[in-house]
A and B are shown apart, each in its own frame.
Chain A
Amino acid sequence: MKRCLVVDDSRIIRRVASKIVYELGFEPEEAEDGKKALEASRVHMPDIAIVDWDMPNMDGLSFVQELRKMPGGDKPIVIFCTAENEVHHIERALDTGANEYIMKPFDSEIVRSKLTILGALD
């Protein structure tokens, strides 16, 4: 089962996103900030990471930058999932190494379509 790391400081968002990816066939793992997400990635590199932007301790951008430097860190598909919805935010996320971008609020169809686009659904 492919693993999906859900990184968000909101417990509710983590829970909702985890449920969505579980129903799409992924094993979800949750982290409440970028630091914890990096620790989780060191133990077990995820196949997909769904990442919030603004979080305490380490934000989403810094997490993705660090993740991409790690051995095997170029492999995970990274999808930002954030309330930041200006063009410059999206461009910055893509420049940092994100593969896709979801603007909150989101639903299961949006997550499904992004994963389909990225070829992550079997």
Chain B
Amino acid sequence: MQPDDFDFLARLLKERSGLVLTKDKGYLVENRLTPVVRQRRYKSMMELVGALKTGEQALAEAVVEAMMAKDTGFFRDWKPFEHFRNRVLPNLLTARKTKHSFRILCAGVSTGQEAYSLAMILDGLGHALAGWQAEIVGIDLSPVALTVATAGLYSQFEVQRGLPVRTLLKHF
């Protein structure tokens, strides 16, 4: 890819998504945008960038979508969720004991597994949350990912990555 094209892509991604694309990430561009080149029947990456430069909005959205990392999973990395369950949540409940309400923001919620994991933890509190209003808000740049998150339908592979089997039986 020509340096000018790379710089153009980097600017586009920074403006639209905040993603910082450094020059050593050329492989990432190749990996993630080659499918877009094929799907849209461009002859090369150069041609795709040329089309982007004409200001094609739908193409720009598709490029941003393709460049976003979608790595996620139920109880991803496990320990942060243990920390939430054992430290953050008790402190939150103490801090909000007069309001009896709280909101949790999942920024970059992707396909929703982490937000649902938080919901499962809250559900596990049972009567301790009776009378409380708890809201989990998920946001993401990717409309495709949000559609999956809203549907809440996951493959056998997805539910097995991170979900303890007893939790799987309880919630699915």
Q: List chain A positions with a Cβ less than 8 A from chain B.
A: 85, 87, 90-91, 94, 100-103, 105-107, 109-110, 113-114, 116-117
Q: Is B31 an interface residue (CB 8 A)?
A: no
- In the bound complex, residues from chain A placing their C-beta under 8 Å from that of B165 are 90, 94, 100-101
Interface of chain A: mostly helix, strand, loop or mixed: helix
Report B14 CB to chain A, min CB distance, Å.
31
B161 adjacent to chain A (CB < 8 Å)? yes
Asked if residues B169 and A91 are in contact (CB atoms below 8 Å), the reply is: yes
Q: In the complex, what's the smallest C-beta–C-beta distance from A11 to chain B, in angstroms? A: 23
Interface size class of B (residues with CB under 8 A): 10 to 19
Chain A residues closer than 8 Å to B164, beta-carbon distance: 100, 117
The CA of A72 and the CA of B164, in the complex, are separated in Å by 24
Docked complex Cα distance between A62 and B28 (Å):
49
- Whether A113 and B73, one on each chain, are in contact in the complex, defined by CB atoms closer than 8 angstroms, is yes
Chain A residues near B169: list those with CB within 8 A. Answer: 87, 90-91
The answer to whether A94 and B73 touch across the interface, beta carbons within 8 angstroms, is no
Query: B108 contacts the other chain (Cβ, under 8 Å)?
Result: no
Do the beta carbons of B78 and A106 come within 8 Å of each other? Answer: no
State whether A110 and B160 are in contact (beta carbons under 8 Å apart), knowing that A94-B166, A100-B165 are contacts in the complex: yes
Complex contacts, A116 vs chain B, CB 8 Å: 78
Using CB atoms, name the residue of chain B closest to A104: B156
Bound Cα distance A29, B165 (Å): 25
Interface residues of B (CB under 8 A from A): 73, 75, 78, 156-157, 160-162, 164-166, 169
Question: What is the bound-complex CA distance between A107 and B158, given in angstroms?
Answer: 11
Q: How far is the CA of A92 from the CA of B167 in the complex (A)?
A: 16
Is the CB–CB distance between B166 and A106 below 8 Å? no
Q: How far is the CB of B91 from chain A (nearest CB, A)?
A: 24
11 more contacts with CB within 8 A, not counting A90-B169, A100-B165, A107-B157, are A91-B169, A94-B166, A101-B165, A102-B160, A103-B156, A105-B157, A109-B161, A110-B157, A110-B161, A113-B160, A114-B160
A117 and B156 contact, CB distance less than 8 A = no
In the complex formed, the residue of B with least CB distance to A101 is B165
User: How far, in whole Å, are A101 and B161 apart by their CA atoms in the complex?
Assistant: 12
Residue from the list A85, A90, A100, A109 in contact with B156, Cβ < 8 A:
A85
Q: How many Å lie between the Cα of A114 and that of B161 in the bound state? A: 8
Contacting residues, chain B, for A110 (C-beta < 8 A): 157, 160-161
Among A87, A102, A106, A117, max chain B CB count under 10 A is at: A117
Instruction: Determine the residue in chain B with the shortest Cβ distance to A111.
Output: B160
In the complex, residue of chain B having the shortest beta-carbon distance to the beta carbon of A110: B160
Q: Which residues of B contact A102 (CB under 8 A)?
A: 160
Question: Closest CB-CB distance, A73 to chain B, in whole Å?
Answer: 21
- CB closest chain-A residue, reference B77: A116
Sample of 8 A–B contacts (CB below 8 Å): A85-B156, A90-B169, A100-B164, A100-B165, A101-B165, A113-B78, A116-B78, A117-B162
